[in-house]
Structure 1
């Protein structure tokens, strides 16, 4: 299985490098399909994301692509939200079945939200540009509060599912800061994702939800995968990639939400 996990790390990182789609949207469902326990899949993927995205922070900071003020507002909401969510999972820890049910439901819903963000990305971006003047004149404090609230949402959903820091976070930032250059938008979200996934991942580690051998094998495959995928960025038309990825995410998301809702009923 070690070779299978190395290949999984390579494939996911390759797709992320080529398309920019968040790794959690692909890695966690893949680990579940490979038979990894839901809580372990989420916890391991969170630390996997923290390690892989740390190198991205260094590169973006070197090119001055990070707005640390926005990162701070996001982290102010997301990091405490992640810690509180982990504590809530700790309270439920005695009931493994309940935890797995909550994680599967959260994971499925996060996948569906990510798929919707992919499908309607251009529509939402056009809306943000059209109405940019409506909220660009907001006092900095109110814009900061809105960013803080987005951070809380991301903190909860990322901690429960390991999904959302990339696709949903970047889209939310674009809606709040439509005139922010794309490279700065991406760099800011990556900078925010590192402390969020690190805190959430360490929280899961405290709950015993990390497979350290699995984490190591995933990272072995991720390094060449990210590099090769980045070399192919833009080679495959976005109009083909986005619907294909969204369809896959919807299929996986529905397959998780339906049984979870049935169990709750």
Structure 2
């Protein structure tokens, strides 16, 4: 198959004389973009880690399936991020610091791929997702009996209990709405923020993705951010962290721009829709849904990869 003018191996599905087979494959790519886009907006992730195994399953060569979702995540994460930004949910302090330290770490991670085992890193990442998902589910279960209509984010409440400061204490009684969330965002610890940014940047470079699969979970569990600001900030950062990998893979001829175009055509509008659904979902339920999604995705990747 040719991508960017380079022969990358595998069946040349784009130039298959059987037009019907090409159409079916592109339809599959479009459906994948629809699903990945919606989950991107709903769960605050770029979606490349989900798109890659799906693309490969419908016959896209492995390297194309890995690299092509990267540029497609940029417009989809920006679209979803715009929805959150309009509601003033994005924590721009976290975004600036994460990009400032994460982007250089992404380059370092990409350069370090020659000395690391990608398979081992992927497995470790999948385990981390499952552990974080279980942690969120346990937290929501413990507080379910005491839940009230105006109860704030479970993670924000635990943050105020574990790290008592005037800023954090104010989150305990904040209304669980998208508009109010911008006023009660937890002040992140600077060292923890730098550690998260560098870790995600390295993993993003090593695994050739935007890092969104780790950003939101770590914003929630390490930085103690409420669920919606964590998702919003994750999308803003992921849109930038996808760029270094895109440039590298485009230079190497690993990106099929037809796949990128089809993915983006469906993922962008549905990421917008996913973000709107997330903003209208009760934070407590959204955290529980997010925990379930992390466990399911992490377990699925462990089993199928």
Task: Pick one of 76, 81, 98 that aligns with 1:57.
Answer: 81
Q: What is the distance in 1 between the residues matched to 2:94 and 2:66?
A: 26
Say if 2:302 is the partner of 1:253. yes
| Contact 1:38 1:104 (C-alpha < 8 Å) held by counterparts | no
Q: How many residue pairs get matched?
A: 242
| Contact 1:77 1:150 (C-alpha < 8 Å) held by counterparts | no
Say if 2:123 is the partner of 1:108. yes
| Contact 1:85 1:160 (C-alpha < 8 Å) held by counterparts | yes
Q: What is the distance in 2 between the residues matched to 1:16 and 1:185?
A: 13
Change (3 A) 1:248 1:150: closer
TM-score, reference length from structure 2:
0.65
| Contact 1:71 1:192 (C-alpha < 8 Å) held by counterparts | yes
Change (3 A) 1:2 1:189: same
Deviations 1:50-99, CA, capped at 9 Å, x for gaps: 2211123333333333332222221222111111222334xx4xxxxx99
Q: Counterparts in 2 of 1:141-180, with a 5 A limit? A: 143-162=189-208, 165-178=211-224, 180=225
Q: What is the distance in 2 between the residues matched to 1:146 and 1:168?
A: 14
| Contact 2:132 2:221 (C-alpha < 8 Å) held by counterparts | no
Q: What is the distance in 2 between the residues matched to 1:69 and 1:230?
A: 21
- Whichever of the two has the greater Rg, that structure is 2
Task: Pick one of 162, 173, 195 that aligns with 1:131.
Answer: 162
| Contact 1:107 1:160 (C-alpha < 8 Å) held by counterparts | no
Q: What is the distance in 2 between the residues matched to 1:55 and 1:181?
A: 21
Where does structure 1 lack aligned partners over 5 or more consecutive residues? 93-97, 257-265
More helix by share: 1
TM-score, reference length from structure 1:
0.73
Q: What is the distance in 1 between the residues matched to 2:275 and 2:30?
A: 18
What is the CA distance between 1:48 and its match in structure 2? 1.7
Q: Judge which range, 218-227 or 238-247, deviates more.
A: 238-247
What is the CA distance between 1:29 and its match in structure 2? 2.0
Q: What is the distance in 1 between the residues matched to 2:45 and 2:239?
A: 16
Change (3 A) 1:13 1:147: same
Change (3 A) 1:128 1:83: same
Structure 2 counterpart SS, 1:247: helix
Q: What is the distance in 1 between the residues matched to 2:289 and 2:230?
A: 24
Aligned to 1:261: none
Say if 2:229 is the partner of 1:184. yes
Say if 2:37 is the partner of 1:13. yes
Q: Which has the higher contact order (CA 8 A, sep 6+)?
A: 1
What is the CA distance between 1:130 and its match in structure 2? 3.2
Change (3 A) 1:51 1:22: closer
Q: What is the distance in 1 between the residues matched to 2:228 and 2:250?
A: 32
Q: What is the distance in 2 between the residues matched to 1:163 and 1:115?
A: 19
The CA RMSD measured in Å over matched residues stands at 3.5
Deviations 1:140-194, CA, capped at 9 Å, x for gaps: xx9323211211110121233356733421222234443x554333322222111
